[in-house]
Amino acid sequence: MRDAWIELTNKHFQSAEHVAVFFGVTEKAARNWRDGVTGPRGGAVAYAIKNVPGAAEKLLGA
């Protein structure tokens, strides 16, 4: 899932700042997600599945 999350945040969002605003996290957290340093918690994944087109298929392999 790590690689899928990195791909999702880099493909669907223009910048770490955009990721931060969309998910309500710090810009540092967003940068770490995009760089693969850390990953999101369940709430962010659920939010992405609900609000980002194609996220469920990408993240869950559905």
Residue 27 has a pLDDT of: 98
The pTM (predicted TM-score) of the whole model is 0.88
* Domains parsed from the chain with CATH numbers: 2-60 (1.10.260)
Residues 47-50: contacts with CB under 8 Å, at least 24 apart: 47/23, 48/8, 48/23
pLDDT in tens, 4-61: 999 999 999 999 999 999 999 999 999 999 999 999 999 999 999 999 999 999 898 8
